A and B are shown apart, each in its own frame.
Chain A
């Protein structure tokens, strides 16, 4: 089981956002996608979850062609996307946001089991189940967004900048949790991050995007060691 992205090209109108992007990710691995603003990181995730339609190329996960499906169908096949900016619905309660992630699942019992599993991962959410999501702190919202995605029982989790706007201590906590999702729950994760160092530290492999092109890719330790990557993205 692998995620295989091959020659993926996406246009936003006349602008080419992704250009012939190719990479693979094995099951149970954490892949970091790093790069500057406008490098196409978010577009890549949105294409994989069905929100954006590509010009050409292919992307498959197991037997699924990710580029054919709508997001509401892909999520039923184990692909869950946490979009940018603490993707929760502020008007709904914490419990409702979690329920939303399991809304397409027929088995109510399974959903409530999932909910208690998620509260085990994020105990803070358990204390705030009946509160509206807009009363949560930034870190808690990010936890809720990830928790909602986990309620869908994904095999492949797409995370868009979970560290954005969070305090360093909270970022560390969130990254640790993401790491655990792969090591203890066996999830495959694509992590898009501006925080390149933080992401590469917990990742198995990394892809550096630059203006829609793959600038360099390889194992996470090799990228951290690469002088060019260090200079351009890690800042030392």
Chain B
């Protein structure tokens, strides 16, 4: 096959944008079948292009990256003295993986949505936003400079806002969308400051130029230049916003107000992984600062375990998955913090498969139960919706880390790399990661048992229970099946050498991360250790399964007994450690009270309008004079002023002439 011309890369984002324009402007008047055809066509072609690009890039003679710049009107995007920013795309192996996830999983979720949204109002709006998301997400992963990445970054945030608030009549949905956008903006604040520092110290925003400058100035790192950790930590703040890490994770659980395909696409498979991608993309900056790397790892590990613990006690099936997503993203950050970027990206890839699958399957369950999301009202469904059950089972086993499912390999790789890392905290972080693996396995099997096994707890609907539960249509099941297959075999591309594989994904990403310091250290340690560690993590996963089996299948009621035994702990976890409440009580409420009480009443109405006391007195004085003279009519007052001013000006201008006359 011919290699793909570099300029074709531009079609990958621009085609979905065309789809957005068509559906966004005309969609309201088009029949649904046309709307969905447009949306599918404009996402299928980019997926095909990505496949072609992949084939091009993987030939033996292919360069390690392909660049393409466009100047549609003859100039850069931003072009001032001292700063140029281009519309520039670059594709390397990291981009390829991201593109595959975005366009591939994205296309599958588009297919699913055709069925899932079939009966919803605002069908055209949904697909327009979804295509717009594909546009921005492709821009994000293709960008060759920080600013263009930021375009995608903010753009996906916008789509997330619009799609979370898709059911905008519901107050909770409208509020959740707003919250997501604002919390993300806190992260973007960090991202922006990082870019400003980059401009100051590197004079450029292009990835290539920044990293080249960094490589040319090793003395910066040796002399401990403050700006390197500052930039890395500010970028991390941005990443923490987008990827829902501590302290900015609070928006993601609420984001579940959006339609389920949105949760699968944006809030599981693609957008929320943008932070991980950004950290991996900027790895030279993070590598240059051990402090920043350690912070990345600690935040990742802390987020992983905190979110997993909350996930254990949620009843809403989508919320369990949301906390699970936060927790798994924490794993990816942990990997990046250990310098094991390839392992992080590997987990990003497998997670995209199984988490998208889990969400879509959960959507299928919800669909089957006509909107029911509470697991306490499910149970015993496995015979009723077998395809959903079996595909979801693949997802559950994958995330729990049972070999040979996809999640096992990527998660195990992260734990192994953590254990063997040279970071002083590595044992602690590994233990946290291992514990999280156990909790993950526990809450996922809890979800599995509560949803599909045991007695049927479904509420009686009007026409009776047995009729209302129905398997979804083939258009929803097809993506489920494909993702289930990927969740089973997706991990095989990264089987470690210790298990007889060849670490394929790591070698694939070598051109991107080859310079990363942590990369070399590992290969030295033996295979024996790796096998032991793998065995431990499998045992932990099985233990999680066992407890879930015990609590929710063998002896249902154990869990609630346990909860009653430790009411304080249970309540604290159940209420998500009160973090939302803490933010509200210590940050938002005081800020608003300060604004209303001090700024508005004292400063604005007191000082500003009161320093105006002088002006005010003058006003009254003048008004009094005016009233005396021209009966307080403001218009004539101003008219007099105008005439007076005109007279003065005339006198000054024509003064000479007048003097001459006299």
Interaction A to B: no
